[in-house]
Amino acid sequence: MIRVTVLAMLATRLAAAEPALELAARAQFGVATAPFEAMTLPEAKGQAFVITGEGSYEPVRDITLALRVPVVLASVAQPAGAYVDTATLANPQLGARRRWFEQGALAIEAGVELGVPLAGHSPTLLANRALAIANGTAGLASPELFTPGVVPITPSSTAVWVAGPWRITATLRVPVLLRFSSADLGAEIATPHTLGIATVIGAEVARRLTHRLELAAASQVVVDLAPTLARVRDRSRAQDLERVGLGIRLSASSALAIELAGAIGGELGGSTLALGARFATWR
């Protein structure tokens, strides 16, 4: 089920057995007005369509290797009011995790992801703003994916408690971003920091309705402990995002999850809404 992040918090399968290999495709479309720490452009506004290819493999019991590759298609609002379309790669993630505790209804696992710094950027800051909008649709919870010019390292931990038709999941992630490039945000535009750290805390409650259906509700809070760019204006360091979703078991080896997400408070409150779907198959 939920393995690494709260962004994958809906059920990808309702079968009992753990697969050795899982392949998945995730698509999310959302609108957001996200913070953007440039002196002349303090926000990034627009729509983003994020497509993510995912794969995981369990070579031995309790140890899983994973890969995520996201691509962003965005329509970015310009200062004059027009919108410009663009596409850019985000930072692919290579991960490993281990289930180190399992007793009765409780299971706990921990892992780490290493990002490949391929996220796009440009002198016009169009790609930078597209990534900021994509991160906005995720509740600012995925800086490791959508921050250009950094090498991300993201340790995480997940605890799952199951009792009958109920499942409760708690997640903790700490993206650490090591900057190696200004990503076209020079000193006249912004002030990059060498190190960025965030904390993402999530909780989900899910109930199995039938053999094929599961309903879930979740919430996450992001705290920006050390921004990767100096703030150009005062704003809250915390951001929430709420989600509701439905997991559908299509067959013995495939499932579909659909979710709706929105922010109530923080910088994104009232401006962010996203609809996502994830298809997974395993063997």
Q: Where are the domains of the chain?
A: 6-282
Angle at 94 between CA 90 and CA 100, to 5 degrees: 135
Mean pLDDT on 110-130: 96
Q: Which residue in this structure is represented by tokens 């990534």? A: 131
What global pTM score does this model have? 0.91
Task: Render pLDDT for 182-224 as a digit per residue (tens, 0 to 9).
Answer: 999 877 788 889 999 999 999 999 999 999 999 999 999 999 9
Least confident of 28-37, 80-89, 211-220, 232-241: 232-241
Residue 19: predicted pLDDT: 61
In angstroms, the CA 199 to CA 36 distance is 19
Residue 231: predicted pLDDT: 82
In angstroms, the CA 171 to CA 155 distance is 11
Q: Which residue in this structure is represented by tokens 């050795």? A: 20
Least confident of 16-20, 83-87, 156-160, 264-268: 16-20
Query: Cβ(41)–Cβ(125) under 8 Å?
Result: yes
Task: Render pLDDT for 124-164 as a digit per residue (tens, 0 to 9).
Answer: 999 999 999 999 999 999 999 999 999 999 999 999 999 99
CATH code of the domain occupying 6-282: 2.40.160.40
